[in-house]
Amino acid sequence: MDFESFVLAAATADLGDESAAREAADAVEFRMDLAADPLAALADYDGALPLIVTNRADFEGGEATADDARLDALCSAAEHPLVEAVDVELETASGGDGQRVIDHAQENGASVIVSTHDFATTPEPPKLRQLLDRACEYGDVGKLAVTARSPDDVLELLAATRASVAGGDRVATMAMGESGRHSRAVTPLYGSKIGYAPVDPADATAPGQYDLATLRRLVADLRSNPDLD
CATH of the domain at 16: 3.20.20.70
Q: State the average pLDDT over residues 5-22.
A: 96
Mean pLDDT of the chain: 94
Domain assignment of residue 20, yes or no: yes
| pLDDT of residue 206 exceeding 80 | no
Domain assignment of residue 228, yes or no: no
For residue 178, the enclosing domain spans 7-223
Listed in order, strand segments (DSSP E) in 150-209 are 171-176, 194-197
How far apart are the C-alpha atoms of 130 and 201, rounded to whole Å?
A: 32
Q: What is the pLDDT of residue 52?
A: 98
| pLDDT of residue 226 exceeding 80 | no
How far apart are the C-alpha atoms of 172 and 141, rounded to whole Å?
A: 7
Domain assignment of residue 2, yes or no: no
**Sheet with strand 194-197: strands edge to edge:** 171-176, 141-147, 111-117, 83-89, 51-54, 27-31, 7-12, 194-197
Q: What is the pLDDT of residue 225?
A: 53
Q: What is the pLDDT of residue 229?
A: 47
How far apart are the C-alpha atoms of 190 and 211, rounded to whole Å?
A: 21
Q: State the average pLDDT over residues 9-18.
A: 96
Q: What is the pLDDT of residue 4?
A: 94
Which has more confidence, 95 or 71? 71
| Model confidence pLDDT, tens digit, residues 26-40 | 999 999 999 999 999
| Model confidence pLDDT, tens digit, residues 47-57 | 999 999 999 99
Which has more confidence, 101 or 97? 101
What total number of domains does the chain contain? 1
How far apart are the C-alpha atoms of 149 and 103, rounded to whole Å?
A: 37
Q: What is the pLDDT of residue 76?
A: 98
Q: Please report, to the nearest 10 degrees, the dihedral formed by the alpha carbons of residues 152, 158, 160, 164 taken in order.
A: 180
| Model confidence pLDDT, tens digit, residues 148-195 | 999 999 999 999 999 999 999 999 999 999 999 999 999 999 999 999
Q: List residues bridging with 145 in a β-sheet.
A: 117, 174
How far apart are the C-alpha atoms of 64 and 31, rounded to whole Å?
A: 10
Helices (H) and strands (E) in the chain, counts: 9, 8
Domain assignment of residue 37, yes or no: yes
Percent of the chain with pLDDT over 70: 97
Domain assignment of residue 211, yes or no: yes
| pLDDT of residue 115 exceeding 60 | yes
Spot the catalytic one: 80, 104, 127, 143. Answer: 143
Spot the catalytic one: 80, 117, 127, 182. Answer: 117
Cβ contact 78:86 at 8 Å: yes
Cβ contact 165:190 at 8 Å: yes
Domain assignment of residue 21, yes or no: yes
Indicate if 117 belongs to the active site: yes
- Of 211, 152, 217, nearest in space to 179 by CA: 152
220: part of which helix (H) or strand (E)?
A: helix 212-222
From its phi and psi, is residue 88 left (phi > 0), alpha (psi between -120 and 50) or beta?
Answer: beta
Q: State the average pLDDT over residues 85-99.
A: 94
Domain assignment of residue 99, yes or no: yes
How far apart are the C-alpha atoms of 160 and 47, rounded to whole Å?
A: 35
Q: State the average pLDDT over residues 42-67.
A: 96
Domain assignment of residue 1, yes or no: no
